[in-house]
Structure 1
Protein backbone atom coordinates (compact mmCIF):
# COMPACT_ATOMS: atom_id res chain seq x y z
CA UNK A 1 0.00 0.00 0.00
CA UNK A 2 1.39 3.41 -1.01
CA UNK A 3 1.95 5.88 1.80
CA UNK A 4 2.23 9.59 0.97
CA UNK A 5 4.64 11.89 2.79
CA UNK A 6 1.83 14.47 2.57
CA UNK A 7 -1.59 14.43 0.85
CA UNK A 8 -1.40 15.03 -2.92
CA UNK A 9 -2.79 18.44 -3.95
CA UNK A 10 -6.22 18.51 -5.61
CA UNK A 11 -6.32 18.46 -9.40
CA UNK A 12 -7.10 21.91 -10.86
CA UNK A 13 -10.26 21.84 -12.97
CA UNK A 14 -12.69 23.99 -14.94
CA UNK A 15 -16.48 23.81 -14.72
CA UNK A 16 -18.16 22.65 -17.94
CA UNK A 17 -20.96 24.99 -18.97
CA UNK A 18 -24.43 23.47 -18.74
CA UNK A 19 -23.36 20.43 -16.72
CA UNK A 20 -22.18 19.46 -13.26
CA UNK A 21 -19.04 17.91 -14.78
CA UNK A 22 -15.57 19.36 -14.59
CA UNK A 23 -12.55 19.34 -16.91
CA UNK A 24 -9.37 18.27 -15.07
CA UNK A 25 -6.39 20.41 -16.09
CA UNK A 26 -3.07 18.71 -16.75
CA UNK A 27 -0.97 21.67 -17.90
CA UNK A 28 -1.28 25.11 -19.49
CA UNK A 29 0.53 26.10 -22.68
CA UNK A 30 0.40 29.67 -24.03
CA UNK A 31 1.16 31.21 -27.42
CA UNK A 32 2.95 34.55 -27.58
CA UNK A 33 2.16 37.45 -29.93
CA UNK A 34 -0.49 35.72 -32.06
CA UNK A 35 -2.34 38.92 -33.07
CA UNK A 36 -0.53 41.25 -35.47
CA UNK A 37 -1.46 44.48 -33.67
CA UNK A 38 -0.35 43.07 -30.31
CA UNK A 39 2.94 41.92 -31.85
CA UNK A 40 3.52 45.49 -33.02
CA UNK A 41 2.70 47.00 -29.62
CA UNK A 42 5.27 44.61 -28.08
CA UNK A 43 7.90 45.68 -30.60
CA UNK A 44 7.87 42.58 -32.84
CA UNK A 45 7.35 41.91 -36.55
CA UNK A 46 3.81 40.50 -37.06
CA UNK A 47 4.72 38.62 -40.24
CA UNK A 48 3.93 34.92 -40.00
CA UNK A 49 6.81 33.36 -38.00
CA UNK A 50 6.35 29.97 -36.36
CA UNK A 51 4.32 30.33 -33.16
CA UNK A 52 6.30 30.26 -29.92
CA UNK A 53 5.11 28.92 -26.61
CA UNK A 54 5.56 29.42 -22.89
CA UNK A 55 3.83 27.64 -20.05
CA UNK A 56 2.07 28.11 -16.75
CA UNK A 57 1.65 25.43 -14.07
CA UNK A 58 -1.80 23.87 -13.86
CA UNK A 59 -2.25 25.25 -10.35
CA UNK A 60 -1.94 28.81 -11.70
CA UNK A 61 -5.56 28.33 -12.81
CA UNK A 62 -8.17 30.66 -11.26
CA UNK A 63 -11.76 29.66 -11.97
CA UNK A 64 -14.73 31.97 -12.52
CA UNK A 65 -15.99 33.31 -9.20
CA UNK A 66 -12.54 33.37 -7.56
CA UNK A 67 -10.62 36.66 -7.37
CA UNK A 68 -6.83 36.51 -7.86
CA UNK A 69 -4.51 38.40 -5.54
CA UNK A 70 -2.18 41.09 -6.88
CA UNK A 71 1.14 39.20 -7.09
CA UNK A 72 4.34 39.93 -5.23
CA UNK A 73 7.53 41.19 -6.89
CA UNK A 74 5.86 43.43 -9.49
CA UNK A 75 4.68 47.00 -9.90
CA UNK A 76 3.32 46.40 -13.42
CA UNK A 77 0.73 43.61 -13.59
CA UNK A 78 -0.89 43.39 -17.06
CA UNK A 79 -4.06 41.77 -18.44
CA UNK A 80 -4.16 39.74 -21.68
CA UNK A 81 -7.57 38.36 -22.74
CA UNK A 82 -7.33 35.09 -24.70
CA UNK A 83 -9.31 32.31 -26.32
CA UNK A 84 -8.48 29.07 -24.50
CA UNK A 85 -8.58 25.65 -26.21
CA UNK A 86 -9.16 22.49 -24.16
CA UNK A 87 -7.56 19.27 -25.37
CA UNK A 88 -9.48 16.01 -24.97
CA UNK A 89 -8.75 12.33 -25.43
CA UNK A 90 -7.01 11.73 -28.73
CA UNK A 91 -5.33 15.14 -28.70
CA UNK A 92 -8.07 17.17 -30.39
CA UNK A 93 -9.80 20.35 -29.24
CA UNK A 94 -12.97 19.49 -27.32
CA UNK A 95 -13.93 22.86 -25.87
CA UNK A 96 -13.32 26.57 -25.49
CA UNK A 97 -13.16 29.18 -22.75
CA UNK A 98 -12.29 32.81 -22.09
CA UNK A 99 -8.97 33.22 -20.31
CA UNK A 100 -6.78 36.04 -19.03
CA UNK A 101 -3.02 35.65 -19.11
CA UNK A 102 -1.84 37.78 -16.19
CA UNK A 103 1.73 39.00 -16.70
CA UNK A 104 4.31 40.67 -14.48
CA UNK A 105 5.34 42.97 -17.33
CA UNK A 106 8.30 44.54 -15.55
CA UNK A 107 9.79 41.10 -14.86
CA UNK A 108 9.13 40.06 -18.45
CA UNK A 109 10.89 43.16 -19.80
CA UNK A 110 13.90 42.51 -17.57
CA UNK A 111 14.02 38.86 -18.67
CA UNK A 112 13.82 39.82 -22.35
CA UNK A 113 16.62 42.36 -21.96
CA UNK A 114 18.84 39.76 -20.31
CA UNK A 115 17.89 36.95 -22.71
CA UNK A 116 16.47 34.91 -19.84
CA UNK A 117 13.29 32.77 -19.54
CA UNK A 118 9.92 34.34 -18.76
CA UNK A 119 8.87 31.86 -16.04
CA UNK A 120 8.67 34.37 -13.19
CA UNK A 121 6.81 36.84 -15.42
CA UNK A 122 4.19 34.40 -16.68
CA UNK A 123 3.99 31.28 -14.53
CA UNK A 124 3.32 32.73 -11.08
CA UNK A 125 0.52 31.80 -8.66
CA UNK A 126 -3.01 32.69 -9.82
CA UNK A 127 -1.76 33.92 -13.21
CA UNK A 128 -4.34 32.06 -15.32
CA UNK A 129 -7.95 33.13 -14.66
CA UNK A 130 -10.31 31.14 -16.89
CA UNK A 131 -14.06 31.04 -17.42
CA UNK A 132 -16.30 28.00 -17.77
CA UNK A 133 -15.58 25.54 -20.57
CA UNK A 134 -18.01 25.25 -23.51
CA UNK A 135 -17.76 21.86 -25.20
CA UNK A 136 -18.02 21.38 -28.96
CA UNK A 137 -17.03 23.49 -31.93
CA UNK A 138 -16.13 27.14 -31.56
CA UNK A 139 -19.43 29.06 -31.88
CA UNK A 140 -18.04 31.62 -34.36
CA UNK A 141 -14.43 31.73 -35.65
CA UNK A 142 -14.92 35.48 -36.26
CA UNK A 143 -16.33 36.18 -32.78
CA UNK A 144 -15.49 39.40 -30.99
CA UNK A 145 -13.00 39.21 -28.11
CA UNK A 146 -13.06 41.98 -25.51
CA UNK A 147 -11.72 42.96 -22.09
CA UNK A 148 -12.96 45.78 -19.87
CA UNK A 149 -11.42 47.18 -16.70
CA UNK A 150 -13.82 49.02 -14.39
CA UNK A 151 -16.33 49.25 -17.25
CA UNK A 152 -13.88 50.78 -19.75
CA UNK A 153 -12.85 48.80 -22.84
CA UNK A 154 -9.14 48.04 -22.96
CA UNK A 155 -8.86 45.23 -25.53
CA UNK A 156 -11.13 44.60 -28.52
CA UNK A 157 -10.62 42.39 -31.54
CA UNK A 158 -11.88 39.37 -33.45
CA UNK A 159 -10.72 35.79 -33.28
CA UNK A 160 -10.00 35.76 -36.99
CA UNK A 161 -7.38 38.46 -36.36
CA UNK A 162 -5.12 35.64 -35.12
CA UNK A 163 -1.93 35.07 -37.07
CA UNK A 164 -2.17 31.32 -36.36
CA UNK A 165 -5.57 29.66 -36.01
CA UNK A 166 -6.36 27.37 -33.06
CA UNK A 167 -6.07 24.31 -35.33
CA UNK A 168 -2.64 25.43 -36.54
CA UNK A 169 -1.54 26.17 -32.98
CA UNK A 170 -2.62 22.71 -31.88
CA UNK A 171 -0.67 21.10 -34.73
CA UNK A 172 2.49 23.05 -33.88
CA UNK A 173 2.19 22.31 -30.17
CA UNK A 174 1.82 18.63 -31.06
CA UNK A 175 5.25 18.75 -32.70
CA UNK A 176 6.79 19.91 -29.43
CA UNK A 177 4.79 17.98 -26.80
CA UNK A 178 2.65 14.87 -26.55
CA UNK A 179 -0.68 16.60 -26.10
CA UNK A 180 -3.04 14.78 -23.77
CA UNK A 181 -6.49 15.15 -22.33
CA UNK A 182 -6.51 17.95 -19.79
CA UNK A 183 -4.11 20.30 -21.58
CA UNK A 184 -5.21 23.92 -22.01
CA UNK A 185 -3.77 26.23 -24.68
CA UNK A 186 -4.06 30.02 -24.37
CA UNK A 187 -3.99 31.22 -28.00
CA UNK A 188 -2.70 34.79 -27.74
CA UNK A 189 -4.12 38.25 -27.08
CA UNK A 190 -5.23 41.24 -29.18
CA UNK A 191 -3.75 44.70 -28.77
CA UNK A 192 -4.49 46.93 -25.80
CA UNK A 193 -2.78 45.03 -23.00
CA UNK A 194 -2.31 47.26 -19.98
CA UNK A 195 -1.84 47.55 -16.23
CA UNK A 196 -4.09 46.36 -13.43
CA UNK A 197 -4.26 47.69 -9.89
CA UNK A 198 -5.60 46.14 -6.74
CA UNK A 199 -9.37 46.64 -6.69
CA UNK A 200 -9.77 46.69 -10.49
CA UNK A 201 -12.77 44.80 -11.87
CA UNK A 202 -12.01 42.82 -15.03
CA UNK A 203 -14.67 41.47 -17.40
CA UNK A 204 -13.47 39.42 -20.37
CA UNK A 205 -15.79 38.12 -23.09
CA UNK A 206 -15.79 36.19 -26.35
CA UNK A 207 -19.09 36.02 -28.23
CA UNK A 208 -20.76 32.65 -27.70
CA UNK A 209 -18.69 31.65 -24.65
CA UNK A 210 -19.22 31.98 -20.92
CA UNK A 211 -17.74 35.31 -19.71
CA UNK A 212 -14.90 35.66 -17.22
CA UNK A 213 -15.07 38.27 -14.46
CA UNK A 214 -12.84 38.89 -11.47
CA UNK A 215 -11.61 41.61 -9.13
CA UNK A 216 -7.91 41.93 -8.35
CA UNK A 217 -7.55 41.56 -4.60
CA UNK A 218 -4.90 43.50 -2.68
CA UNK A 219 -2.09 41.52 -1.07
Structure 2
Protein backbone atom coordinates (compact mmCIF):
# COMPACT_ATOMS: atom_id res chain seq x y z
CA UNK A 1 0.00 0.00 0.00
CA UNK A 2 1.51 3.36 -1.00
CA UNK A 3 2.30 5.94 1.62
CA UNK A 4 -0.44 8.46 2.33
CA UNK A 5 1.83 11.50 2.02
CA UNK A 6 4.26 12.72 -0.60
CA UNK A 7 6.80 13.33 2.17
CA UNK A 8 6.90 12.73 5.93
CA UNK A 9 4.74 15.23 7.84
CA UNK A 10 6.46 17.30 10.50
CA UNK A 11 6.18 15.83 14.01
CA UNK A 12 3.80 17.30 16.57
CA UNK A 13 5.27 20.30 18.36
CA UNK A 14 4.58 19.88 22.07
CA UNK A 15 5.67 21.43 25.37
CA UNK A 16 6.43 19.58 28.56
CA UNK A 17 4.17 20.27 31.53
CA UNK A 18 5.69 20.65 34.95
CA UNK A 19 4.51 17.84 37.21
CA UNK A 20 2.65 16.00 34.44
CA UNK A 21 3.82 13.16 32.20
CA UNK A 22 1.56 14.36 29.42
CA UNK A 23 2.60 16.98 26.88
CA UNK A 24 0.87 20.10 25.57
CA UNK A 25 0.57 20.01 21.75
CA UNK A 26 0.98 23.49 20.27
CA UNK A 27 -1.56 24.69 17.73
CA UNK A 28 -0.75 28.36 17.00
CA UNK A 29 1.49 31.12 18.35
CA UNK A 30 -0.08 34.57 18.72
CA UNK A 31 2.25 37.40 19.74
CA UNK A 32 1.04 40.72 21.14
CA UNK A 33 2.75 43.91 20.01
CA UNK A 34 3.45 46.80 22.37
CA UNK A 35 1.52 45.64 25.39
CA UNK A 36 3.64 47.44 28.00
CA UNK A 37 3.35 51.23 27.94
CA UNK A 38 7.08 51.82 28.50
CA UNK A 39 8.02 49.49 25.64
CA UNK A 40 5.51 51.20 23.36
CA UNK A 41 7.20 54.49 24.23
CA UNK A 42 10.66 53.18 23.35
CA UNK A 43 9.22 52.04 20.00
CA UNK A 44 7.86 55.57 19.42
CA UNK A 45 4.24 54.84 20.29
CA UNK A 46 1.73 55.54 23.07
CA UNK A 47 -1.15 53.18 23.76
CA UNK A 48 -4.52 54.54 24.86
CA UNK A 49 -6.49 51.53 26.07
CA UNK A 50 -9.77 53.45 25.86
CA UNK A 51 -9.46 54.00 22.11
CA UNK A 52 -6.99 51.36 20.86
CA UNK A 53 -7.16 47.59 20.58
CA UNK A 54 -4.33 45.06 20.92
CA UNK A 55 -2.56 44.02 17.72
CA UNK A 56 -0.84 40.76 16.90
CA UNK A 57 1.56 38.90 14.68
CA UNK A 58 1.83 35.13 14.31
CA UNK A 59 4.82 32.81 14.43
CA UNK A 60 4.67 29.33 12.96
CA UNK A 61 5.56 26.11 14.75
CA UNK A 62 9.10 26.03 13.30
CA UNK A 63 9.84 29.01 15.55
CA UNK A 64 9.41 26.97 18.76
CA UNK A 65 12.68 26.14 20.48
CA UNK A 66 13.21 24.87 24.01
CA UNK A 67 14.80 26.94 26.74
CA UNK A 68 18.44 26.15 27.44
CA UNK A 69 19.42 25.36 23.87
CA UNK A 70 21.65 27.10 21.32
CA UNK A 71 20.25 29.41 18.65
CA UNK A 72 22.44 29.91 15.58
CA UNK A 73 22.50 33.60 14.72
CA UNK A 74 19.70 33.74 12.11
CA UNK A 75 20.37 34.55 8.46
CA UNK A 76 19.60 37.86 6.80
CA UNK A 77 20.03 40.10 9.85
CA UNK A 78 22.71 42.17 11.53
CA UNK A 79 20.48 43.27 14.42
CA UNK A 80 19.04 40.34 16.40
CA UNK A 81 17.08 41.47 19.47
CA UNK A 82 15.74 39.73 22.58
CA UNK A 83 12.24 40.31 23.95
CA UNK A 84 11.37 38.66 27.27
CA UNK A 85 7.73 37.58 27.53
CA UNK A 86 5.13 35.93 29.73
CA UNK A 87 3.35 33.22 27.74
CA UNK A 88 -0.25 32.07 28.22
CA UNK A 89 -1.44 28.63 27.06
CA UNK A 90 -5.06 27.80 26.14
CA UNK A 91 -6.56 24.33 26.55
CA UNK A 92 -10.22 24.95 25.64
CA UNK A 93 -11.96 26.17 22.47
CA UNK A 94 -13.67 29.52 22.46
CA UNK A 95 -15.22 32.06 20.12
CA UNK A 96 -16.62 35.48 21.05
CA UNK A 97 -16.18 34.73 24.75
CA UNK A 98 -16.63 37.03 27.71
CA UNK A 99 -13.81 37.77 30.16
CA UNK A 100 -14.88 35.12 32.68
CA UNK A 101 -14.92 32.42 30.02
CA UNK A 102 -11.61 33.71 28.65
CA UNK A 103 -9.96 33.24 32.05
CA UNK A 104 -11.33 29.71 32.27
CA UNK A 105 -9.72 28.88 28.90
CA UNK A 106 -6.23 29.61 30.21
CA UNK A 107 -4.48 26.37 31.14
CA UNK A 108 -1.17 27.72 32.35
CA UNK A 109 1.88 29.86 31.86
CA UNK A 110 5.45 29.75 30.54
CA UNK A 111 8.43 32.03 30.02
CA UNK A 112 9.18 32.99 26.43
CA UNK A 113 11.66 34.88 24.26
CA UNK A 114 10.36 36.58 21.13
CA UNK A 115 13.60 36.86 19.15
CA UNK A 116 13.42 39.56 16.49
CA UNK A 117 15.41 40.45 13.38
CA UNK A 118 14.94 44.14 14.20
CA UNK A 119 16.50 45.50 11.01
CA UNK A 120 14.17 43.41 8.86
CA UNK A 121 11.20 44.38 10.99
CA UNK A 122 12.11 48.05 10.55
CA UNK A 123 12.38 47.66 6.79
CA UNK A 124 8.87 46.25 6.79
CA UNK A 125 7.60 49.15 8.89
CA UNK A 126 9.31 51.71 6.65
CA UNK A 127 7.62 50.26 3.56
CA UNK A 128 4.30 49.60 5.32
CA UNK A 129 4.74 45.89 4.77
CA UNK A 130 4.17 42.89 7.09
CA UNK A 131 6.72 42.04 9.77
CA UNK A 132 7.08 38.34 8.88
CA UNK A 133 10.76 38.43 7.96
CA UNK A 134 11.57 40.25 11.16
CA UNK A 135 9.49 38.14 13.52
CA UNK A 136 8.80 34.70 12.07
CA UNK A 137 11.90 32.55 11.63
CA UNK A 138 13.22 29.17 12.74
CA UNK A 139 14.02 29.13 16.45
CA UNK A 140 12.61 32.61 17.03
CA UNK A 141 10.11 31.62 19.75
CA UNK A 142 11.98 30.23 22.75
CA UNK A 143 9.82 28.73 25.50
CA UNK A 144 10.04 26.86 28.80
CA UNK A 145 7.86 24.08 30.11
CA UNK A 146 4.30 24.98 31.09
CA UNK A 147 3.17 25.54 34.66
CA UNK A 148 -0.54 24.78 35.12
CA UNK A 149 -2.70 27.57 36.48
CA UNK A 150 -3.96 25.03 39.00
CA UNK A 151 -0.48 25.24 40.54
CA UNK A 152 0.18 28.99 40.32
CA UNK A 153 -3.34 30.32 40.63
CA UNK A 154 -4.44 33.26 38.48
CA UNK A 155 -1.34 35.44 38.18
CA UNK A 156 -1.97 39.17 38.33
CA UNK A 157 1.48 40.42 39.31
CA UNK A 158 5.07 39.23 39.47
CA UNK A 159 8.51 40.36 38.39
CA UNK A 160 9.58 39.77 34.80
CA UNK A 161 13.21 40.33 33.88
CA UNK A 162 15.96 39.52 31.40
CA UNK A 163 19.76 39.52 31.59
CA UNK A 164 22.41 39.33 28.88
CA UNK A 165 25.74 37.93 30.07
CA UNK A 166 24.60 38.60 33.64
CA UNK A 167 23.67 42.25 33.07
CA UNK A 168 20.03 43.18 33.66
CA UNK A 169 18.42 44.61 30.53
CA UNK A 170 14.68 44.31 31.14
CA UNK A 171 12.72 44.46 34.37
CA UNK A 172 9.04 45.13 35.02
CA UNK A 173 5.98 43.60 36.61
CA UNK A 174 3.40 41.61 34.66
CA UNK A 175 0.78 43.83 36.28
CA UNK A 176 2.13 46.56 33.97
CA UNK A 177 0.55 44.81 30.97
CA UNK A 178 -1.94 47.12 29.26
CA UNK A 179 -4.27 44.19 28.58
CA UNK A 180 -4.54 41.24 30.98
CA UNK A 181 -4.26 37.67 29.62
CA UNK A 182 -8.02 37.21 29.92
CA UNK A 183 -8.63 40.46 28.03
CA UNK A 184 -6.26 39.27 25.28
CA UNK A 185 -8.03 35.90 25.00
CA UNK A 186 -11.40 37.66 24.90
CA UNK A 187 -10.20 40.06 22.20
CA UNK A 188 -8.58 37.36 20.05
CA UNK A 189 -11.77 35.31 20.23
CA UNK A 190 -13.57 38.06 18.30
CA UNK A 191 -11.43 37.25 15.27
CA UNK A 192 -10.44 33.58 15.69
CA UNK A 193 -12.04 30.37 16.82
CA UNK A 194 -9.44 29.79 19.52
CA UNK A 195 -8.42 26.17 20.00
CA UNK A 196 -6.65 24.02 22.60
CA UNK A 197 -2.93 24.39 22.05
CA UNK A 198 -2.97 28.08 21.16
CA UNK A 199 -0.22 30.13 22.81
CA UNK A 200 -0.17 33.87 23.44
CA UNK A 201 3.16 35.65 23.89
CA UNK A 202 1.78 38.59 25.86
CA UNK A 203 4.42 41.17 24.91
CA UNK A 204 7.69 42.53 26.25
CA UNK A 205 8.67 45.29 28.71
CA UNK A 206 11.02 48.14 27.85
CA UNK A 207 14.73 47.56 27.45
CA UNK A 208 14.86 45.44 24.29
CA UNK A 209 18.23 45.35 22.58
CA UNK A 210 20.69 43.45 20.40
CA UNK A 211 22.68 40.30 21.04
CA UNK A 212 25.68 38.88 19.19
CA UNK A 213 27.27 35.47 18.79
CA UNK A 214 28.55 34.20 22.13
CA UNK A 215 25.95 36.01 24.24
CA UNK A 216 23.93 34.19 26.89
CA UNK A 217 20.37 35.32 27.59
CA UNK A 218 18.67 34.51 30.89
CA UNK A 219 15.24 35.59 32.04
CA UNK A 220 12.45 34.81 34.44
CA UNK A 221 8.84 35.41 35.36
CA UNK A 222 8.06 35.23 39.05
CA UNK A 223 6.04 32.11 40.00
CA UNK A 224 6.49 30.72 36.47
CA UNK A 225 10.18 29.92 36.05
CA UNK A 226 13.39 30.78 34.23
CA UNK A 227 14.49 30.72 30.61
CA UNK A 228 17.92 30.72 28.96
CA UNK A 229 19.38 30.82 25.47
CA UNK A 230 22.87 30.81 23.96
CA UNK A 231 23.49 32.71 20.72
CA UNK A 232 26.01 30.72 18.64
**Please, what TM-score do these two structures have when normalized by structure 1?**
0.95
Asked whether the equivalents of residues 133 and 210 of structure 1 are also in contact (C-alpha less than 8 Å), the reply is no
Q: Per the alignment, in what secondary structure is the counterpart of residue 163 of structure 1? A: coil
> What residue number does 1:72 align with?
75
- 2:116, 2:159 → 1: CA distance? 22
- C-alpha displacement of 1:134: 0.3
Of 78, 86, 91 in structure 2, the residue corresponding to residue 88 of structure 1 is 91
* Aligned partner of residue 213 in structure 1, secondary structure: strand
Tell me which residue corresponds to 2:63: 60
**Counterpart residue number, 1:125:** 138
Alignment of 1:197-212 (within 5 A): 197-212=212-227
Note the C-alpha offset of 1:20.
2.4
Report SS of the residue matched to 1:11.
Answer: coil
Task: Give the match for residue 214 of structure 1.
Answer: 229
Q: Distance in 2 between matches of 1:87 and 1:194?
A: 29
CA distance in 2, matches of 1:207, 1:117: 33
Using the alignment, how far apart are the partners of 1:206 and 1:141 within structure 2?
A: 12
d(CA) in 1 for partners of 2:70, 2:22? 22
Structure 1 runs (4+) greater than 3 angstroms displaced: 137-140
Alpha-carbon RMSD across the aligned residues, in angstroms, is 1.3
Unaligned runs of 5+ in 2: 95-104
CA distance in 2, matches of 1:214, 1:109: 24
**Shift of the alpha carbon at 1:63?**
1.1
Deviation readout 1:183-212 (Å, 9 max, x if unpaired): 100001000000011111111100111211
